[in-house]
Amino acid sequence: MKKLMTLCLTLIMMPMFTEISVSAFNLPDIEMIKTLNPDLNIDKVIDEIPKDASLKDPNLVLVNRENPIDSSLDVPLTYTENDIPYHQEIEEAVLDLFTAALDADHHLYAVSGYRTVDQQAANFDARMNLYLADGYDEETAYYMTDLFVAPAEASEHSTGLALDLLGTDWDQYGGDLHQAYKDYPSAIWMAEHAADYGFIIRYLDGKQEITQYEYEPWHLRYVRVEHAQIMMKHNLVLEEYLTLIQHRDDNE
């Protein structure tokens, strides 16, 4: 990621997290946001952002390649019907999302949720080993794995705020985490309605330069309703939204 600015801060966590300590956020430069979103009225969007929106909000915690998670984080967990763990503080939002989807004739289920840093490392190695077993050389296997699977301390799943969700309409066509899922009714419904329950499609198509990950129509991240709706409305990813908050704060 180019034109990164370092924001030195200490996250003061609300009751949602037992403890998260992040010494710095690396965010895209505001000029990069303008370049990638030429039709975006930056000032207008900033006016829409809640006045209390803050980089210290635990719901907006940023975890990516540039912002590793604290491996000692203790996440209180609850579980989906099929025993996938996630942060207990977003249980109501998850249940509401599933219920609304079912009311719209889409049966969603989780295929992945919370992972420890060690589990994420094992997940990365397992995917890479599959490519090696298929005959790819080590460099190519690493590259292909890295397109979708985060390094050990760079996965949002370790916050408990991210879930990989699929619909049963996709099962008969493979049930794997594949970008083709975006064209199926349940995925379309999630893209259009997840924000109403506080979730965003975290890795959007066309935003790979910022997120450094390929498009994932199945990967939902909780950020709170008011933030999710603004991000969805303006096609923003979390890095961009946080940059706008910081830009606002710097110019107040």
Looking at residue 24, what is its pLDDT? 58
Looking at residue 240, what is its pLDDT? 98
Q: Which residues of the chain have pLDDT under 70?
A: 1-24
Other Cβ atoms within 10 Å of 1 Cβ, number = 16
Helical (H) or strand (E) element with 56: none
Other Cβ atoms within 10 Å of 108 Cβ, number = 25
Across 159-168, b (16+ Cβ under 10 Å) vs e yields bbbbbbbbbe
CA pair distance 165, 77, nearest whole angstrom: 17
For the stretch 12-41, pLDDT in tens is 233 344 344 434 589 999 999 999 999 999
Looking at residue 159, what is its pLDDT? 96
Looking at residue 13, what is its pLDDT? 31
Looking at residue 147, what is its pLDDT? 84
Q: Calculate the CA 16 to chain-centre distance.
A: 17
For the stretch 205-220, pLDDT in tens is 999 999 999 999 999 9
Question: The domain 32-115+155-250: what is its CATH number?
Answer: 3.30.1380.10
Looking at residue 4, what is its pLDDT? 35
Looking at residue 6, what is its pLDDT? 31
Tokens 């840093």 -> residue: 117
What phi and psi values does residue 123 have, to the nearest 5 degrees? Answer: -60, -45
Tokens in use for 125?
Answer: 């190695």
CA pair distance 112, 149, nearest whole angstrom: 12
Q: Calculate the CA 145 to chain-centre distance.
A: 18
Looking at residue 206, what is its pLDDT? 94
Query: Any idea where the domains of the chain sit in the sequence?
Result: 32-115+155-250, 117-154
Question: Helix/strand/coil (H, E, C) string of 33-45?
Answer: HHHHCCCCCHHHH
Tokens in use for 223?
Answer: 């950020």
Looking at residue 3, what is its pLDDT? 34
